[in-house]
Amino acid sequence: MKFIDLRSDTVTVPTPDMREAMAKAEVGDDVYGEDPTINRLQEMAAERMGKEAGLFVPSGTMGNLAAILSHCTRGDEVILGNKAHTFLYEAGGISALGGVHSYQLPNQPDGTLVLEEIEAAIRPENPHFPITRLVALENTHNRCGGVALTVAYTRAVGALAHQHGLKLHLDGARIFNAAVSQGVPVHALVEPADSVTFCLSKALSAPVGSVLCGSHEFIDRALRIRKQLGGGMRQAGILAAAGIVALETMVDRLAEDHARAKRLAAGLASIPGVILDPGSPFTNMIFCSLSPELPWNAADVAKRLAQQGVKVGDAGRRRFRLVMHYWVGDEDVKQVIEVFTQVLKQG
């Protein structure tokens, strides 16, 4: 059975152009710094982000972990949102592997942290307290519905952090979705951040990898941490080649995903029993719930949708996440609306 898989944009497989570039990629030993394709990707990534240097890492999780461990040492503290991917879904790596303490602030529905709350969370000098080192933001914000943070907000947080001698890290797993949806250059969105991780293997459809970007001095430290984490990948130019194609060909088209997500959301909202989250979709993610009169939970409905060829993520007992991506076309959108309608009718 052919599935329309909306569980995540992480399910995207490489395009034919990526496979060709992978097959032809020039490679070398990257631990010696000798993989020309990785070096090219890192330079391209740093240039796009307006940073001095880039570091290819196997995953967004390792990018965030290497960043936080490069900014902080054991017993230091990072201020981040209680819905941040790093807090919720990275297996507690920052504390398990880095001894980094987290101070969680409530994420607002628009993905932000309240500036006054950030300021109040910064620890004064006192031997009772951990040392606040870092603020971390996420853009787009996954658990806040794929909402994009603005340049103005990111600048305000950067200014606040720097005023207090802290650094700012940005989990920009989907930073290109944030840039395209707001019509702003990506470097403007990440300019206030001292470091940014962005993912090639999500909406950009590459099979593997993320790039961590920052100053030369920061990336030198992150390189050692990546080695400690086992992320020195040798001839991984084969993977980086797909990442280069992703950066060259997959960024501008993200607007198509956002437009399709809007069409799908409108279709779903018209089905009795489906309630769209307020404002959804902001970018490529749709969040919606079952209305209270329906007796089923999201997992049951997701199972029945899958039996009809549509895979969706359950994002709570009665809530779904559907993520639009390169491999979902206009016909698929129609099909998903039809299948949802049938499944909810049948009960």
Which lies closer to ligand TLP via its Cβ, residue 85 or residue 101?
Answer: 85
Asked if 314 interacts with ligand TLP (CB under 6 A), we say: no
Which lies closer to ligand TLP via its Cβ, residue 14 or residue 273?
Answer: 14
Interacting span for ligand TLP (CB under 6 A) from 15-23, 54-62, 99-107, 155-163: 54-62
Asked if 171 interacts with ligand TLP (CB under 6 A), we say: yes
Task: Tell me how far the alpha carbon of residue 87 is from its chain's centroid.
Answer: 13
Asked if 243 interacts with ligand TLP (CB under 6 A), we say: no
User: Total number of residues binding ligand TLP (CB under 6 A)?
Assistant: 14
Tokens of 290: 């079952």
Which lies closer to ligand TLP via its Cβ, residue 141 or residue 167?
Answer: 141
Asked if 112 interacts with ligand TLP (CB under 6 A), we say: no
Give residue number: closest CB to ligand TLP.
60
CB of 12 to ligand TLP, least distance (A): 11
Which lies closer to ligand TLP via its Cβ, residue 158 or residue 231?
Answer: 231
- The sign of the dihedral angle between the CA atoms of 155, 161, 165, 166 is negative
Asked if 286 interacts with ligand TLP (CB under 6 A), we say: no
What backbone phi and psi angles, to 5 degrees, belong to 313?
A: -90, 140
Burial class for 150, CB neighbours closer than 10 Å (0-12, 13-18, 19+):
middle
Please state, in angstroms and rounded to a whole number, the distance separating the CA atoms of residues 91 and 24. 36
Asked if 8 interacts with ligand TLP (CB under 6 A), we say: yes
CB of 49 to ligand TLP, least distance (A): 16
Q: Which of 12, 37, 42, 59 binds ligand TLP (CB under 6 A)?
A: 59
Q: State the virtual CA torsion across 56, 42, 258, 256 in degrees, nearest 10.
A: -120
Q: Which of 138, 257, 277, 332 binds ligand TLP (CB under 6 A)?
A: 138
Please state, in angstroms and rounded to a whole number, the distance separating the CA atoms of residues 153 and 135. 13
Asked if 173 interacts with ligand TLP (CB under 6 A), we say: yes
Is there a cis peptide before residue 278, judged by omega within 30 degrees of 0? no
CB of 142 to ligand TLP, least distance (A): 4
CB of 307 to ligand TLP, least distance (A): 22
Q: Which of 199, 204, 206, 223 binds ligand TLP (CB under 6 A)?
A: 199
* Size of the chain in residues: 347
Q: Which of 48, 51, 71, 85 binds ligand TLP (CB under 6 A)?
A: 85
Strands, DSSP E only, in the chain?
Answer: 4-5, 53-57, 76-81, 101-105, 131-138, 167-172, 195-199, 210-214, 274-276, 285-290, 310-311, 313-314, 319-323
Asked if 97 interacts with ligand TLP (CB under 6 A), we say: no
Please state, in angstroms and rounded to a whole number, the distance separating the CA atoms of residues 179 and 283. 10
The answer to whether 26 touches 237, Cβ cutoff 8 Å, is: yes
Look up tokens 């997500």; give the residue.
261
Which lies closer to ligand TLP via its Cβ, residue 5 or residue 344?
Answer: 5
Interacting span for ligand TLP (CB under 6 A) from 53-61, 175-183, 230-238, 253-261: 53-61
Please state, in angstroms and rounded to a whole number, the distance separating the CA atoms of residues 259 and 261. 5
The answer to whether 83 touches 140, Cβ cutoff 8 Å, is: no
Q: Are strands 210-214 and 310-311 parallel, antiparallel or unpaired?
A: unpaired
Interacting span for ligand TLP (CB under 6 A) from 47-55, 59-67, 92-100, 188-196: 59-67
Asked if 327 interacts with ligand TLP (CB under 6 A), we say: no
Tokens of 68: 């936080």
Asked if 181 interacts with ligand TLP (CB under 6 A), we say: no
- Binding interface with ligand TLP (CB under 6 A): 8, 10, 59-61, 85, 89, 138, 142, 171, 173, 199, 201, 210
